[in-house]
Structures are given as C-alpha cells and as structure tokens.
A and B are shown apart, each in its own frame.
Chain A
Amino acid sequence: MAAPSMKERRVCWGARDLYWQCLDEHEEDAARCGQLRSSFEASCPQQWIKYFDKRRDYLKFKEKFEAGQFQPSKSTENS
C-alpha cells in the first residue's frame, strides 16, 4: 500500500481537526460527532486513526496534568 501523498495527508489532517473540534465542543462526547468520525475514518489509514486517537488521549492527559489535577495517592508511599 503506497504511502499517502501530501494531498491525502492534508485531507486526513483536516478531517481529524474537524473531528477534534467537535469533541472539544461536546466535551469528549463521541456519540454527538458520529458523522465527523466516519469522514475522519474514511480519509485516513487505519494505523493513523489509532495513532491520532492515542495522541488525543495523551494531549488531554497532558492538559489535566499541567492543570494539577493529579495528586500522588497515599498508597504509593509504601510501594
């Protein structure tokens, strides 16, 4: 399978950005963004979709972490 060309990459990124915008508006409610999700899945190779999903999770985690929402739990003291 040939690698996506520059045009195909840009289409995939556009679809991803739209989908992510939708998630931002609806606060990670994937059910409300079904249509954008399917267009995203149609534009990008499967590996990229998995990769971008993981990337999204990571970026959200990073936001929460930098906002200080994670505290070390007491149980780790004895470990």
Chain B
Amino acid sequence: MAAVAVHQFAECITCHAWSPDQSMVAFCPNNSEVHIYKLFGEKWEKMHVLSKHDQIVCGIDWSLKSNKLVTVSHDRNSYVWSQEGTEWVPTLVILRLNRAALCVQWSPKENKFAVGSGAKSICICYYEQENNWWVSKLIRKRHESSVTNVAWHPDNILLATTSTDGKCRVFSTYIKGVDSKESESSSSDLKFGEQIAQLDLSVTWAFGVRWSPSGSILAYAGHNSMIHFIDDVKSNPSAQSIPLRDLPLRDLLFLSDRVVVGVGFDCNPMIFTADDTGLWSFTKFLDQRKAAPSSSRGSQLSEAFGKLYGTSKQVPSNDTVEPSKTRGGAHENCITCIVPLWKRGNTTLCRFSTSGLDGKVVIWELDIPK
C-alpha cells in the first residue's frame, strides 16, 4: 500500500522515464547527461550515458511501443534516441526555439511528441518519412508565459498545456498526413494550433496537467496549493477547485477516472478520489507521516515558527528542537516527476514511480478498489 522500492541514483534528479519492459530507467542527474540504469537482480548497473545536450535535460519520455527516447533540454534542442544494438543513436530535432525547452511527452500513438518551452510556445514534432527527419511545428500564439507541462488526450489530437501565466489551455494538434480524420471530431476543431479551451482557474503558476484515461476529465495543480478538476472540457466545462492543506503540487497522475495521485513539495504523494457523483476530494497521503499535523511538522519548520511565535510575550517559546534530516518518508525533498508503470493486462494503473530533488526514484504500489 505504499513505497515498494527506493533507489538513490544521484544527488538530484530532474526527470525520469522507464523502458517499455520496466527493466531500465533513464533519468537526468541535474546535468546535461541522461543516465540509463538497468536492474540486474537487486543491483542497478549504469548501462549508458547519453551526453549530447549542453545544458540540463529537463524532459525525458520513453515511448512504450516504438522504444524511442526523446529528450529535451534547456539548450533549446531535442534529441530522439533509438537503440541500435547496444548503442543509443541520437537524431537531432530542430525545434526552432529561442528559449529553453521545459517538458516533453510522446503522443499516445507515438507518432508525435509535444514540447513545452520558455518561449511561450509549444512544438509539435512528427516524423517525415520522405526526408527521414523530425519536423517541428510551433504553436506560437496564446501563451503569455512559459509552458510548464503538456499532456496528450487519448485521441492523439488534443493537447492540454499549463503555463506560468496560470492558465490551462487545450489545443488541437491535427496534422494532415499524420493524423487521420476521425468521424467523431467536428471539422472546426481540426485546424492545427486551434485553441479549444482556456481555463482561468488559477491565479498562480500552473503545473502538472493530465487527462484522465477516458479523456473526459482534465486535472492540473496551481502553485497556490490548489488542484483543479475540469469535466467535459470541450462542450460543457464544469470545474472543481480543491484547496490543499499543505504545500503545492508539481505533478499529477490519473490512476483511473476516479483516482488521482498528486506529488509536490510535501515530499509525499497525495491521493484524490471522486465519489459516484463526480465530486473530488483529498483522501490521504500515501507515505507515513512523521508526526501528527497539530504538532511540529518537521524540525526546520517548527524552529522557524518557534522563533516567530517566541518573540511574543504571551506565547511560550518552542523548546523542542528535533534533529533535522529525515521527515520519515521515502522522499526527502520535493517530488518533481511521476511516471506510470503499467502492468501487462491491467486496465487500471496501480503502480507508479516518483523522482525528486533528493535524487531518489521511488516505486509505489496501490490497491485500487474497482
């Protein structure tokens, strides 16, 4: 019901991704390289080091069917890596950005990938067979600030983005020749770069946008410690905003249409569930908590508050000084990335991994009630 495995790979991990068979993990140890480790029994061995980028690799995604790695970096470049034998061969993708790339995700059909950037634009890249290279198409309008996260809708055409301007937008990324015209979607939505919806629920930076597995619910986190759930974005959007008790979230993951895991500055995954009427609420923290919420929340915090309250004559000063270090959970620092680990044959997701600024990758397993 909690952390199944904890692996300390580096001092700090920016992002990570798993291979299709989940035997290898690729991550960026907060530098310009991508390290790929493979599990041999109980030990992790460093198999490959991919070092083509010049600056921090801030986004990695590993396609499950075609076994391709895509990496994007602050150096405004992106590489698609394919495994040939024992080597990983990079293919440069010219994104045509003049600012850092911030996030990347393969589309569900893995024929496109989306990159969010600090240039207030998104790049949709697809493979052109005739020229044997990846072409990047930019969506330049609409965003007023950096795009922090991107999320593909299961239909392979709609893309949701969150930005530091606080808004969540949904765009159409239909590309003639790459996407087939589905009979359900109306032709007006199909124009590339067309904005389908703009959600203005957060006054602060927005992170971690995700679609539910069925594509009917959209969720994203605001930096003011709130999480927003939007139902039926395309036709009749109805939103729910839940204020969180503690620190903000950085990333989300839908385990099913009714269960969401949020990770962030609390270093502890949070579970949100929807009841039968579709009303979302916070259920619990996944990891064990060190102390009861009413007493000290961790040494540094109580010390700081103690000094703050201690100056007032009426309030007795806080004398308990606990040794700082572990809060007692799996992660010791902000969790920045959460990745699903699908088990073959399962329709609901119950395994996922998180990585954070403490350099750990933790694998969690849950029992989800049907």
Q: Do A and B bind each other?
A: no
